[in-house]
Homo-oligomer: A and B are copies of this chain.
Amino acid sequence: MIIVMKSGSTQEQVEAVERKLRDLGFQTHPIYGEVKTVIGAVGDKRLVKPHSIIHMDGVENIVPIMSPYKLVGRELISEDTIIDVDGVPIGGKELAVMAGPCAVESEEQLMEAAVKIKETGAKILRGGAFKPRTSPYSFQGLEEEGLKLLAQVGKETGLKIVTEVVDTRDVELVSQYADILQIGARSMQNFRLLSECGKADKPVLLKRGLSATIEEWLMAAEYILSAGNPNVILCERGIRTFETATRNTLDINAIPVVKERSHLPIIVDPSHATGNWRWVEAAAKASIAAGADGLMIEVHPDPSSATSDGQQSLKPEKFVELIKALKPIAQAVNRTI
């Protein structure tokens, strides 16, 4: 880490900062410029509380050098991680496709979607039993009843199940039914939930928060890994920006950036990232072309009667066409779908 001293800071101030740094276990290397002095501090950033220094007289700013994550970074594990979801790999040559309705509504609805999804070769069924909704007056999900339907349809079709957990109290329950625990965008910094999922024995799909930087997202994954669960799948689902034409802004750049910084697989949710089924195809193609390891897509047999997010859901027949359209793109980047 680098401590930048103010213009006009005194020799005494520089020395006081150096003493403090050495007390904290750092080696110090002051560099005297014409206008400003900076102090290089060598040691493990993760041990330090920078405000113990930022408040000292003459200090202007502190610049961290090391990335704050360890387990999710490429420094310890340089190879790409492939996560094994009960026989289905995520992160390898084959792209992972997760599809299904936003919310589980009934056995019929779920089964109808699942059968079509299965036909395309996709291997993972999504569906929400616990729904985080902006309004308390909106449908909040079928809860355990929904989990049971998911497990049942999963069993009958052979599809793996990914479903969201929104409360620390439900992690055990959801783990009994799901193959992958999903942590939603609004829970990305629910650190207790991250820790609980870190203790679970199921892989975790971690969606990026609406306004989370890539670094914060990787730190959220670090919570899960540091609690003991190495199986985290990152999911880019669009960020919040000033643009109002789309529900969110798909941060396609995040794919190469995450790939460079982390060994974890990353998939994209083009349904939330656009907010409109008409734009899902373009976003899905872009994601695969950019190097995503898979997709999570909302599919509903009757979007116009959906209890949630109908506007961005594909009808099953559109989903079948989408997967067809994605095949040549996957091939072009040496992947299969």
- Please give the residue numbers on chain A whose beta carbons come within 8 Å of chain B beta carbons, in ascending order: 2, 4, 7, 29, 31-36, 38, 40, 42-44, 46, 49-56, 63, 65-66, 68, 75, 132-137, 140, 166-169, 186-187, 189-192, 194-195, 210-211, 213-216, 219, 222-223, 226-227, 238-246, 249-257, 259-260, 273-274, 277-279, 281-283, 285-291, 303-311, 313, 328-329, 331-333
Contacts and interface: CB of A to CB of B under 8 A. Distances in A.
Contact of A167 (B49, B168, B283, B286): B168
Contact of A291 (B256, B259, B282, B333): B282
A35 B274 CA distance: 27
A251 B282 CA distance: 12
A213 B250 CA distance: 15
Contacts of A52: 304-306, 310
A52 to B, nearest CB: 5
23 contacts: A2-B63, A4-B65, A7-B75, A38-B65, A49-B305, A51-B304, A51-B313, A54-B311, A135-B222, A136-B191, A166-B190, A211-B211, A238-B253, A239-B249, A249-B249, A253-B273, A255-B282, A256-B282, A260-B278, A260-B279, A282-B289, A285-B289, A288-B289
Contacts of A246: 253, 257
B245 A242 contact: no
Contacts of A46: 135, 137
Secondary structure at chain A's binding surface: helix, strand, loop or mixed? mixed
Given A4-B65, A133-B191, A332-B329, A304 B40 contact: no
Contacts of A306: 49, 51-52
A34 B38 contact: no
A130 B274 CA distance: 36
Contacts of A56: 304
Greatest chain B CB density within 10 A among A66, A75, A136, A313 is at A136
Given A31-B42, A34-B42, A166-B191, A251 B249 contact: yes
A42 B32 contact: yes
A36 B65 contact: yes
B227 A136 contact: yes
